[in-house]
Amino acid sequence: MPSLREMADAVTSGAADPEAFVQEALRAIHGDRERDVPLNAFLSVDDEAPVRARDPVPARPAERPLAGVPVAIKDNIATLELPTTCASKILEGYRSPFEATAVRRLKAAGAIVVGKTNLDEFAMGSSTENSAYGPTRNPRDPSRVPGGSSGGSAAAVAAGLVPAALGSDTGGSVRQPASFCGVVGIKPTYGMVSRYGLVAFASSLDQIGSFGRTVHDAAVLLQVMAGHDPLDSTSAARQVPDLLSAADGSARGLVVGVPDEYFPENLDPAIRALCDRALAALRDAGAEMRRVSLPHTQYAIPTYYIIAPAEASSNLARYDGVRYGPRPSGARSTRETYELARSRGFGDEVTRRIMLGTYALSAGYYEAYYGHAQKVRALIARDFLVAFDSGVDVILTPTSPTVAFRIGEKIHDPLQMYLSDIFTVTANLAGLPAMSLPIGSIDGLPVGGQLLARRWGEPTMIRAGAALEAALSLGAAAHPGG
């Protein structure tokens, strides 16, 4: 499959028909659905998408860097042509009256939305098993999860159903599935991409991110989406840097931080070895390695799982059978309407997090839980600031402590599931940009390495990611099977 740049260049030059690209994607999606064991990556498909691909290409092709490119959208991001269900029964069939700014910008750049992808219900999960419409499977091994909560988007790109997709990342929901599926996933700095049209989970943590098969492809989507949006009060009024030039840069002169806390003694030795190989590749490409410490990392998971459920409890209060969600028949009071609508509409994981969050915000417990968590969040952010101020340009860590686990393996053990995010939640708590890219595999299952940069440090992060991608590719070519 060609890169996004090659696809768009072929369309704008007249060498390729954009409708053909879209038709090819639709055939692949429908073909997967007809398999004995489908991936279940898509919740809805727009069979009218080829019609929109017939729109004429403007005279200035640079205005359409995604001309004719078929893309998939995670089903918690609002679209006009297709439902936005958040993989929940409470929003079954819901159609948004407006479109997310990120989607609108992709379409303005020439992208064609071909479908909406599966996810953990309301983006709450790390495996895409919590969907009301069944789990998504990992293209590398259908007996395993693709990660979550953006598992449908990651699986769709990894399987070649679409060349690129959007996801959302609240605690690692772009990066962890990117790692499990062997693709690139980017979570931008908080405020770089508009959240308008993203169904809120935890408003101070959520960001829309991108999936691609290469660093450059994922960066193209981010370049198009980024920028201030007056419809989102958390959107930063900053000029968008040139991310694509950064993707053509080298590692020479970069200082890469290696945090002790992300390489504990009990880390899988095979994952550690692949991270060491990635660090060696960057060193050989001209980067300098430096050990750093992020001492409050050990508090990241408890901090995240207080703040995120607390904000979810508030955000999901609107799904009550009156404002959103089907109104249950037979309810004899407003209270009973709420109880029936929510108990029938929400799955177990969403219910669990709402209850946790409501407790953390309740009278007498707010300061003990939510208040303290916000203070620790500030300490985690300060750790990163100290590390970057010491001269480090990017930090490299594993993306996940494991490879993709088997479907059903952790679904009944919430704590083990939550620990899947142990290396990713810190970027959301600190508002930092982070990305996952493939650094190797273990028994055929992909392993991702995570790069983090200071706030608004996307150009440096993408430069490092592209350099690492190139270095590992050259190393693989020189040492087949290594």
- Alpha-carbon gap, residue 303 to 101, rounded angstroms: 30
In total, the chain counts a number of residues equal to 482
- Say if residues 292 and 387 touch (Cβ distance below 8 Å): yes
Residue 89 contacts residue 78 (beta carbons within 8 Å):
no
Rounded CA separation 7/71 (Å): 12
Which pLDDT score is estimated for 478?
Answer: 45
Lowest model confidence (mean pLDDT) among 123-132, 298-307, 324-333: 324-333
The mean pLDDT of the chain is 95
Give the mean pLDDT of 84-93: 97
Q: Does 222 score more than 90 pLDDT?
A: yes
Q: pLDDT tens digit string along 153-198?
A: 999 999 999 999 999 999 999 999 999 999 999 999 999 999 999 9
Average pLDDT, integer, range 355-367: 93
With cut-offs at 50, 70 and 90, classify the pLDDT of residue 340.
Answer: confident
Alpha helices in 139-268 (DSSP H): 151-158, 175-181, 215-225, 243-246
Q: H-type helices in 285-419, by residue range?
A: 300-315, 334-345, 348-361, 372-389, 414-418
| Contact residues for 377 (Cβ-Cβ < 8 A; gap 6+) | 303, 307, 429, 430
Per-residue pLDDT for 61 more than 70?
Answer: no
Out of 44, 74, 194, 436, the active site residue is 74
- Is 422 or 55 the better-scoring residue by pLDDT? 422
Per-residue confidence at 249, pLDDT binned at 50, 70, 90? confident
Marked catalytic residue, from 150, 173, 194, 400: 173
HSE (side-chain half, CA atoms, 13 Å) at 400: 37
Active site residue 250: no
**Catalytic residue selected from 149, 168, 179, 436:** 149
Active site residue 390: no
Burial 427-459 (b: 16+ CB within 10 A, else e): bbbbbbbbbbbbbbeeeebbbbbbbbbbbbbbb
Q: Can you tell me the mean pLDDT for 408-412? A: 95
- The yes-or-no verdict on residue 269 having pLDDT over 70 is yes
| Predicted local distance difference test score (pLDDT) of residue 481 | 44
CB-facing half-sphere around the CA of 418: CA atoms within 13 A: 15
**What is the band of 479 on the pLDDT scale with cuts at 50, 70, 90?**
very low
Tell me the C-alpha distance between 386 and 336, whole Å. 52
Q: Is 194 a catalytic residue?
A: no
Query: 482: pLDDT confidence band, cut at 50, 70 and 90?
Result: very low
Q: What is the pLDDT of residues 439-464, one digit of tens each?
A: 999 999 999 999 999 999 999 999 99
Alpha helices by DSSP H, 390-457: 414-418, 425-430
pLDDT of 327 reads 84
**What are the DSSP E strand ranges found in 42-149?**
42-45, 70-74, 112-117
Residue 480 above 90 pLDDT?
no
* Mean pLDDT within 74-92: 97
Query: What is the full DSSP assignment across 245-256?
Result: HHTT---TT-EE
What is the domain class of 4-248+397-478 according to CATH?
Answer: alpha beta
